[in-house]
């Protein structure tokens, strides 16, 4: 911590750490200074000239992203001079901008739109024709590039240069023909490419996955935690429920990272961002008994029917790190404290193991194995479980949010058939969903409140973004129901 100094912002005496950038210090007290190129994580090249402020004593207006707070500094962000300077800077940014807001996916969350409404000229002085550049350029598997909309703030090139160090984007050309381009011979296909869409303040880089799906002003935003790996990146779930005909009927439209410097910084990986697929596909909606006689049950009938089956010897439980801390606590009181079983199987097997790197991605592709560990639960080996199943030692197999066909491959169906009674609890049906004896619908993580403990032991809260489908209940509620039926 540097020493705290006094300075003046718009005539009001304020305190800030010495050496802090004026743009940040102003943001701390709620004064938003317009900016494109400055990004807290990507540095301050000072090329957009939007964050201009008036500093007493300086001969010319200064850029606030390169001016540091010092004792006695007197800054004005709302004087006529500042407004005029910002309006002229914005006018120059718009010289070659196509103004195709109606068809641009960024509109509604665009820096050009926002600042134009605030400080725009409202009268164009440009008489020359606009410079035409490339449109609809496929930059990579997830990103679409439109060079005309670009304001050349270089945030995206700084991201690929400094954060991922993969250098797929660069600035090419000079003067009016200067443009962002994909480096020849490369595609923007690094594991974090989606973040360039977030850092882009305009519609130059847009999401291919989200392209033309929903207008951003229809979306509801809910704070959540990415369940894609053990990192537990803070995210915002953007959902579209008011107009279900958009986004091909999918309720979750996109995921965006939330800033949390302790966990994920400003970023999230593409696996998490685009990996959610369709959460509503193949959902379990009803409490079902599939064999011997197919019937729809009420939750209470199901609990009283399952209670004697769970009490028998030979119960094995396959769980997964998708369970929240609350779920694990209820899990423990049902299976460990009440039923006193030994066989838990929830470790990350090949079905839940994937690529990892030094930036964010972790090997375990489930969010909450640490939560089980914190409660003292230990996972048995899946190979041993397979052997027990083959030997006929397991009479009841309780599977929670896990696709067995991905754990055991082709053998899974025959192994599952060996268990007398098999119960599937989870949001989705998975590949073997029809081979189970009972199916209990549970809520997906976007349909419940809960907490995940990440691999470092940091607990993150995710909130309910959508209402559950059908009769689905949170996992902890199902465990509690069974526990009450048993006692």
Partner 1 sequence: MAITVRTVKRPERTFATEIYLVEIVKGLGLTFRHLFVNLYRHSKRALGLKGLPGSVTVQYPDDPAVLGKRARTRHRLLKRDDGAPRCTACLLCETICPAKCIRITAENAPDVQVEKRAKTFDIDLGMCIFCGYCVEACPVDAIHMDANEVEISAYSRKDMIWNMPELLGDVPKKPSQPG
Binding footprint of partner 1 on the chain (CB under 8 A): 100-103, 135-136, 211-212, 215, 217-218, 243, 245-246
Q: Looking at beta carbons only, is 58 or 99 nearer to partner 1?
A: 99
Nearest approach, Cβ of residue 109 and partner 1 (Å): 15
Q: Looking at beta carbons only, is 182 or 478 nearer to partner 1?
A: 182
Give me the DSSP letters along 149-177: G-----HHHHIIIIIS----EEEES-GGG
Nearest approach, Cβ of residue 95 and partner 1 (Å): 19
Strands 396-400 and 421-426 turn out to be: parallel
Residue count (the chain): 487
Nearest approach, Cβ of residue 175 and partner 1 (Å): 23
C-alpha closest to that of 308 among 134, 138, 485, 72: 485
Q: Which residues pair with 221 in a beta bridge?
A: 238
Q: Looking at beta carbons only, is 122 or 245 nearer to partner 1?
A: 245
Asked, as a colleague might, if the bond just before 219 is cis with ω within 30 of 0, I would say no
Nearest approach, Cβ of residue 212 and partner 1 (Å): 4
Q: What is the DSSP letter of 183?
A: P
Q: Looking at beta carbons only, is 134 or 470 nearer to partner 1?
A: 134
Nearest approach, Cβ of residue 187 and partner 1 (Å): 19
Nearest approach, Cβ of residue 260 and partner 1 (Å): 32
Nearest approach, Cβ of residue 216 and partner 1 (Å): 11
In whole angstroms, what is the distance from residue 150 CA to residue 140 CA? 17
Nearest approach, Cβ of residue 241 and partner 1 (Å): 14
**110 near 201, Cβ under 8 Å?**
yes
Q: Looking at beta carbons only, is 1 or 103 nearer to partner 1?
A: 103
**461 near 408, Cβ under 8 Å?**
no
**434 near 284, Cβ under 8 Å?**
no
Q: What is the CA radius of gyration of the chain?
A: 27
Taking CA 181 as the corner, what is the angle to CA 179 and CA 182, rounded to the nearest 5 degrees?
170
Q: Quick one: tokens of 107?
A: 């509109």
**9 near 26, Cβ under 8 Å?**
yes
Q: Looking at beta carbons only, is 75 or 104 nearer to partner 1?
A: 104
Q: Quick one: tokens of 419?
A: 């268990």
Q: Looking at beta carbons only, is 118 or 211 nearer to partner 1?
A: 211
Q: Looking at beta carbons only, is 102 or 184 nearer to partner 1?
A: 102
The sign of the CA dihedral 193, 194, 198, 201 is positive
């Amino acid at each position: 911590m540097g020493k705290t100094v006094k300075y003046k912002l718009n005539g009001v005496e304020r305190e800030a750490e010495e050496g802090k950038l004026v743009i940040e210090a102003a943001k701390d007290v709620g004064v938003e200074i317009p900016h494109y190129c400055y990004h807290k994580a990507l540095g301050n090249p000072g090329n957009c000239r939007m964050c201009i402020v008036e500093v007493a004593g300086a001969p010319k207006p200064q850029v606030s992203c390169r001016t540091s707070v010092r004792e006695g500094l007197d800054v004005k962000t709302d004087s006529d001079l500042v407004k005029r300077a910002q309006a002229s800077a914005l006018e120059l940014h718009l010289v070659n901008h196509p103004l195709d807001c109606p068809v641009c996916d960024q509109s509604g969350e665009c820096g050009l739109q926002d600042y134009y409404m605030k400080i725009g000229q409202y009268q164009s002085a440009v008489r020359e024709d606009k410079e035409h550049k490339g449109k609809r350029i496929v930059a990579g598997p997830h990103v679409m590039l439109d060079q005309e909309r670009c304001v050349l703030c270089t945030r995206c090139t700084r991201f690929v240069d400094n954060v991922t160090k993969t250098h797929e984007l660069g600035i090419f050309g000079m003067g009016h023909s200067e443009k962002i381009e994909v480096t020849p011979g490369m595609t923007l296909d690094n594991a974090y490419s989606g973040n360039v869409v977030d850092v882009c303040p305009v519609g130059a880089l847009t999401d291919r996955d989200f392209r033309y799906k929903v207008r951003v002003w229809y979306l509801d935003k809910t704070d959540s935690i990415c369940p894609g790996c053990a990192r537990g990146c803070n995210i915002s779930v953007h959902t579209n429920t008011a107009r279900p005909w958009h986004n091909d009927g999918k309720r979750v439209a996109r995921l965006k990272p939330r800033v949390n410097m302790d966990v994920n910084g400003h970023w999230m990986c593409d696996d998490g961002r685009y990996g959610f697929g369709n959460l509503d596909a193949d959902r379990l909606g009803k409490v079902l008994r599939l064999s011997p006689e197919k019937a729809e049950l009420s939750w209470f009938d199901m609990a009283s029917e399952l209670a004697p089956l769970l009490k028998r010897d030979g119960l094995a439980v396959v769980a997964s790190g998708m369970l929240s801390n609350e779920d694990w606590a209820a899990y423990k009181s049902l299976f460990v404290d009440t039923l006193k079983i030994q066989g838990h199987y929830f470790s990350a097997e090949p079905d839940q193991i994937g690529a990892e790197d030094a930036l964010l991605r972790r090997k375990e592709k489930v969010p909450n194995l640490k939560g089980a560990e914190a409660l003292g639960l230990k996972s048995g080996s899946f190979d041993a479980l397979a052997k027990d199943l083959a030997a006929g030692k397991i009479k009841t197999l309780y599977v929670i949010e896990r696709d067995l066909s991905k754990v055991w491959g082709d053998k899974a169906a025959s192994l599952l058939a060996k268990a007398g009674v098999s119960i599937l609890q989870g949001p989705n049906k998975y590949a073997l969903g029809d081979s189970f004896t009972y199916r209990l619908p549970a809520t997906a993580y976007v349909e419940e409140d809960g907490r995940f403990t990440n691999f470092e032991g940091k607990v993150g809260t995710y909130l309910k973004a959508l209402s559950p489908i059908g009769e689905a209940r949170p996992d902890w509620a199902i465990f509690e129901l069974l526990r009450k039926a048993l006692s």
